[in-house]
Chain A
Amino acid sequence: MIALVAIAFFTLPFVGLVWRAPWSKAWDVLTEESVRQALWLSITCSLWATGFALFFGVPLAWLLARVNFPGRSIVRALCTLSMVLPPVVGGVALFFSFGRRGLFGQYLDQWFDFRLPFTTWGVVVAQTFVAMPFLVLTVEAALRQLDKRYEDAARTLGGSRWYVFRRVTLPTIRPALIAGAVLAWARALGEFGATITFAGNFPGTTQTMPLATYLALESNPQEALILSLVLIAVSFAVLVGLRDRWLGGTGAPAPGGGQ
C-alpha cells in the first residue's frame, strides 16, 4: 500500500505534465531556433562531461579502490563532495577558483588567454564537476568487488599491469562502467545550479535545456511544458534502453541523479 503511494508520487507529476501539455504547439516549439540550440548544447555538453568523467574518473576510482594511501577516505570525501553539495555552491566554488579573477583561473586567463566562465567549456566543467562522482563511486564499488585472482591469472600469463587492466579489469567491470557513465550523463544533462552560476545563461553558448526550461516557465509556461517533456523522454529512453541492452540485469546499483 505504501509502495503504491510511492509509485503514485513518482508518476502523478508526469501525468500532470502530459495532461497539460499543449500538444498542438509542440512542433512549433521544438523547431524554434533557441530550443534547438539549447537541446543541441545540452546533448553535446553532457556527452563531453561524460567523456571527461570516464577519462579522469576511472583512474581515480582505481586509485581509491586499489591503492592504500594515508588520507584515502578524506580524498574520497573531497572527490565526491560535489555529489551532495547544493549545485549552486559548487558553481560558486568553481567561479572563485577558475573564474577570470579566481585563484587559478587568473593564470588560465593571463598565460593561455583561456576563460572558462560564461563559455561552453564552462558548462562542460560545471557538468563534469557534479557528474563525475557518480561514475567514480560506481566504478570504485565494482573494482572492490572484483575477484583479484583473475588479474593474478592474467599476470601469470605474461600480461603487464596495463595490459591486464585493459584486457581483464575493464571488461569485467563493464556493466558498472556503463551504469556509472549513464548516471553521470543523466546528472550532467540535468545540471542546472552549477551551470547557471559558473557559466551563466547565454542562449547558444551556455543555455542548456534545464536553463531554457526554467526561463520559459516565467515567460511562456506552455513552452516550459514541452521542454520538460523532451528532457523526460530523453532520460527515460536512455534509462530503459541501457538497462536492458547493456546491463543485462547484472544489477548495477543506481542511485538517482538529477537536481
Chain B
Amino acid sequence: MSVEASIGMQLGTLDLDVELSVNAGEVLAILGPNGAGKSTVLRALAGLLPIQQGQITIDGLMLDDPDRHVFIPAERRPIGVVFQDYLLFAHLSALENVAFGLRARGMAKTKARSIAEDWLHRVGLGDHADHRPRALSGGQAQRVALARALASDPRLLLLDEPLAALDVGTRSGVRRDLRRYLDSFDGMRILVTHDPVDAYALADRVAILDAGRVVQVGTISEVTAHPRSRYVADLVGTNLVVGRADNGVLVTDTGAQVVIADLGPGRTFAVIRPQAIAVSRLAPTDSSIRNVWEGVVGDIDRLGDRIRLGIDGPVALTAEITAAALESLQIRPGDTVHASVKATDIDSYLA
C-alpha cells in the first residue's frame, strides 16, 4: 500500500513540481510557509484540481495522469479530507454530517446512521449526535470532521492545517486527541501544516515545501538534526526534548532535567531553538540562566556564516552560533563545552 505522486502545476505565480510518496500506516507532514503550494498539493491529491504534469497513484490505481487523459474526480477517489475550517454542513446535525459520505455513496439511511453513530462514539461525541455544527466547540467540530472523513473508510486521509482554526489555549489538547485518533487509523495520512510543532506531534516523516519544491524529506529527527539548507534550518532545525513536566521542570526519559517557564503537569515537549543556546567553554556563573548542560561537540556544520554545533550531553542539542564565535572559542569536534538556555527561551507544549 502506498501513494505515489508527482505533481506538476503552474497556477498564477505558483510553479509546483513535487514528488511525494507515503507508505502504509505512515503519517507524512507537508510543512511549509503560506504560499508554498501546500494546499494546492492537497487539492490535487483529493481530486479537486487536475494536475498538469505528472501522475498520482494510490495502491497502484491511477488517479490522475494528464498524459493519458486519466482523471478520477474527487467523488470517486478513496480519499478522505479534513479541511482547515472543518467545513461541516451547517444545516445537518453532527450525525448527518458523519453519515453524509455513506449516503452519498448510496448506503441506506438506517445503516448509514448506525455506522455514523459508531464513529461519533469512537471520537467521544456519542452524546452530540443531534447537535448542529454551530453548537460544537472547535475541537469537537474537528472530531466530527475527522469521523466524517473516516466513516467511508478511505485508504488515504488528508488533513489541511488541522489545528490552525483553533485558538492557542485549546490547541495542545486537541493536538493530543488528534494524535490518538490518527494513530487508530491504519491507512495512509498526509498532513499539511505551516507549524513545525504540528508536524513533530503528528507525523512520522516530513516533506518541506518551499516555493513549489520539496527541499528536504526525512524523518522528523533527521530533518531537525540535519537541515540541508538555511531555509529548512530556520523552519524546523530546532531541538525537541520530550519528557514529563511538573512544577516547571521537564524530566526526560534518560533523566536529564530541563527548566521550562510554563507549568503544566504531564507529558510535554519543549522546543529549544538552536539560536537560543549560548555555548561557552566554562560554565556561566552568577547568571539568570536556568539550564546549563555540559556536553561534547560532535558535528560542526556550516550554513553560510552560521555554524550548527551538535552537542552531546544529558540533552542532545544542536546549537547555532556565528562563524566568528566559533573562531574565537576555538571549538573543535571532541571538545567539552557548556550549552546554556534561559527557561523563558524554551517553548513547551503538552504532548
Contacts and interface: CB of A to CB of B under 8 A. Distances in A.
B74 A156 contact: yes
A247 to B, nearest CB: 15
A153 B104 contact: no
B104 A150 contact: no
Contact of B87 (A149, A160, A164, A174): A149
Interface stretch (B78-86, B168-176, B304-312): B78-86
Given A149-B83, A168-B89, A156 B48 contact: yes
Contacts, number: 67
Interface residues of A, number: 19
A235 interface: no
Contacts of A153: 81, 83, 87, 89
Contacts of B81: 153, 156
Contact of A167 (B46, B74, B85, B104): B104
Interface residues of B, number: 26
A157 B79 contact: no
A216 interface: no
Given A152-B48, A152-B74, A157 B87 contact: no
A155 B152 contact: no
Contact of A157 (B48, B73, B85, B100): B100
A172 interface: yes
Interface of A: 147, 149-150, 152-160, 163-164, 167-168, 171-172, 174
Interface of B: 43, 46-48, 73-77, 79-81, 83, 85, 87, 89-91, 100-101, 103-105, 148-149, 152
28 contacts: A149-B83, A149-B87, A150-B87, A150-B89, A152-B74, A153-B81, A153-B87, A153-B89, A154-B104, A155-B48, A155-B74, A155-B75, A156-B79, A156-B149, A157-B80, A157-B101, A157-B148, A157-B152, A158-B75, A158-B101, A158-B152, A159-B75, A159-B104, A160-B75, A164-B104, A167-B100, A172-B90, A172-B91
Which 3 pairs from chain A and chain B are nearest by CB? A157-B101, A159-B104, A153-B87
